[in-house]
Amino acid sequence: MANRTKKEYTEHGMGMYRYRRCRCEVCCEAMYHFRKKYRKTSDNYNKMIDATPLLNWLRENGQITQIDGSTARKWAERGLSVYSIDKVCIRLGVHPVEIYGNQFYQGCFSD
Ligand SMILES: [Zn+2]
Protein backbone atom coordinates (compact mmCIF):
# COMPACT_ATOMS: atom_id res chain seq x y z
CA MET A 1 0.00 0.00 0.00
CA ALA A 2 2.57 2.56 -1.13
CA ASN A 3 0.01 5.12 -2.16
CA ARG A 4 -1.62 5.10 1.24
CA THR A 5 -0.26 8.50 2.28
CA LYS A 6 -1.74 10.16 -0.76
CA LYS A 7 -5.06 8.60 -0.06
CA GLU A 8 -8.02 10.36 -1.50
CA TYR A 9 -10.83 10.62 0.95
CA THR A 10 -13.71 9.29 -1.05
CA GLU A 11 -15.30 7.36 1.79
CA HIS A 12 -17.14 9.18 4.51
CA GLY A 13 -15.52 8.93 7.90
CA MET A 14 -12.86 10.57 10.02
CA GLY A 15 -10.52 11.35 7.14
CA MET A 16 -13.27 13.00 5.19
CA TYR A 17 -14.23 15.03 8.25
CA ARG A 18 -10.70 16.26 8.88
CA TYR A 19 -9.35 16.79 5.39
CA ARG A 20 -12.42 17.46 3.34
CA ARG A 21 -14.38 19.21 6.08
CA CYS A 22 -17.38 17.04 5.43
CA ARG A 23 -19.95 17.33 8.19
CA CYS A 24 -22.42 14.68 7.18
CA GLU A 25 -23.83 12.30 9.75
CA VAL A 26 -21.34 9.52 8.97
CA CYS A 27 -18.33 11.82 9.27
CA CYS A 28 -19.56 13.46 12.46
CA GLU A 29 -20.22 10.09 13.99
CA ALA A 30 -16.74 8.85 13.13
CA MET A 31 -15.11 11.97 14.56
CA TYR A 32 -17.24 11.85 17.67
CA HIS A 33 -16.21 8.28 18.42
CA PHE A 34 -12.58 9.08 17.69
CA ARG A 35 -12.59 11.97 20.15
CA LYS A 36 -14.42 9.99 22.77
CA LYS A 37 -11.82 7.27 22.54
CA TYR A 38 -8.90 9.61 23.11
CA ARG A 39 -10.36 11.75 25.84
CA LYS A 40 -11.52 10.42 29.14
CA THR A 41 -14.70 12.43 29.12
CA SER A 42 -16.51 13.93 26.22
CA ASP A 43 -15.82 17.62 25.67
CA ASN A 44 -19.49 18.17 25.91
CA TYR A 45 -19.56 17.35 29.56
CA ASN A 46 -16.76 19.74 30.48
CA LYS A 47 -17.83 22.57 28.29
CA MET A 48 -19.73 25.32 30.08
CA ILE A 49 -22.73 26.63 28.21
CA ASP A 50 -24.08 30.14 28.55
CA ALA A 51 -26.94 30.09 31.05
CA THR A 52 -28.68 33.19 29.65
CA PRO A 53 -31.21 31.33 27.45
CA LEU A 54 -32.12 29.08 30.37
CA LEU A 55 -32.47 31.96 32.83
CA ASN A 56 -34.56 33.89 30.32
CA TRP A 57 -36.77 30.87 29.77
CA LEU A 58 -37.28 30.50 33.55
CA ARG A 59 -38.27 34.17 33.85
CA GLU A 60 -40.58 34.10 30.86
CA ASN A 61 -42.33 31.01 32.12
CA GLY A 62 -42.63 32.16 35.71
CA GLN A 63 -40.31 29.38 36.88
CA ILE A 64 -37.43 31.50 38.12
CA THR A 65 -38.53 30.79 41.71
CA GLN A 66 -37.61 27.13 41.11
CA ILE A 67 -33.99 28.07 41.67
CA ASP A 68 -32.54 30.24 44.41
CA GLY A 69 -30.79 33.52 43.79
CA SER A 70 -27.27 32.25 44.48
CA THR A 71 -27.73 29.42 41.99
CA ALA A 72 -28.96 31.85 39.36
CA ARG A 73 -25.93 34.09 39.94
CA LYS A 74 -23.55 31.12 39.75
CA TRP A 75 -25.11 30.03 36.46
CA ALA A 76 -24.94 33.55 35.07
CA GLU A 77 -21.25 33.81 35.97
CA ARG A 78 -19.95 30.38 35.02
CA GLY A 79 -22.58 28.89 32.78
CA LEU A 80 -23.73 25.31 33.05
CA SER A 81 -22.46 21.99 31.79
CA VAL A 82 -24.61 20.11 29.31
CA TYR A 83 -25.18 17.56 32.03
CA SER A 84 -26.53 20.19 34.45
CA ILE A 85 -28.75 21.69 31.80
CA ASP A 86 -30.17 18.25 31.14
CA LYS A 87 -30.89 17.73 34.83
CA VAL A 88 -32.57 21.11 35.24
CA CYS A 89 -34.67 20.55 32.14
CA ILE A 90 -35.81 17.14 33.31
CA ARG A 91 -36.92 18.72 36.58
CA LEU A 92 -38.80 21.43 34.71
CA GLY A 93 -40.30 18.98 32.27
CA VAL A 94 -38.90 20.81 29.27
CA HIS A 95 -36.56 19.56 26.57
CA PRO A 96 -33.19 21.43 26.35
CA VAL A 97 -33.81 21.94 22.63
CA GLU A 98 -36.89 24.00 23.48
CA ILE A 99 -34.62 26.43 25.32
CA TYR A 100 -31.38 26.23 23.38
CA GLY A 101 -32.57 25.13 19.97
CA ASN A 102 -30.58 22.69 17.87
CA GLN A 103 -27.28 24.29 18.90
CA PHE A 104 -27.61 22.20 22.04
CA TYR A 105 -26.46 19.22 20.02
CA GLN A 106 -23.83 20.94 17.95
CA GLY A 107 -21.33 21.67 20.71
CA CYS A 108 -19.56 18.32 20.43
CA PHE A 109 -18.65 18.79 16.79
CA SER A 110 -17.26 22.31 16.84
CA ASP A 111 -13.49 22.67 16.69
ZN1 LIG B 1 -19.26 12.87 5.13
Q: How many residues does the chain have?
A: 111
Please choose, from the candidates 8, 15, 99, the residue with its C-alpha nearest in 3D space to the C-alpha of residue 61.
99
DSSP letter at 81 equals E
Centre of ligand 1 to C-alpha 48, Å, is 28
Centre of ligand 1 to C-alpha 106, Å, is 16
Centre of ligand 1 to C-alpha 32, Å, is 13
pLDDT string in tens for the chain (111-residue length): 444 555 677 889 988 888 888 999 999 999 888 877 766 555 555 678 899 999 999 999 999 998 899 999 999 999 998 888 988 998 888 888 889 887 777 654 343
CB-count exposure of residue 52 (10 Å: 0-12, 13-18, 19+): exposed
Centre of ligand 1 to C-alpha 33, Å, is 14
Centre of ligand 1 to C-alpha 43, Å, is 21
pTM, two decimal places: 0.55
| CA–CA dist 50, 11 (Å, integer) | 36
